[in-house]
Amino acid sequence: MGKNKMTAKSAQRIQSHADRTGKNQGFKARAQRAAAKNDSKK
């Protein structure tokens, strides 16, 4: 695992790109879950 945590802004950026390109559809949900998990740790 990298040292940078997924943020809500990063997850939103990933989802937007995935929607535009039609790729990485499975990663959208994982990015959102990771952002929510990291936000809850604050």
pTM of the model: 0.70
Euclidean distance between CA atoms 19 and 2, whole angstroms: 25
Structure tokens at 36: 């929510």
Euclidean distance between CA atoms 35 and 15, whole angstroms: 12
Segment 18-28, tens digit of pLDDT: 999 999 888 88
- Read off the pLDDT band of 40 (50, 70, 90): confident
Structure tokens at 17: 């790109």
pLDDT for res 13: 92
- DSSP-derived secondary structure for the chain: --SSPP-HHHHHHHHHHHHHHS--HHHHHHHHHHHHHHHHT-
Query: Does the pLDDT at position 12 exceed 90?
Result: yes
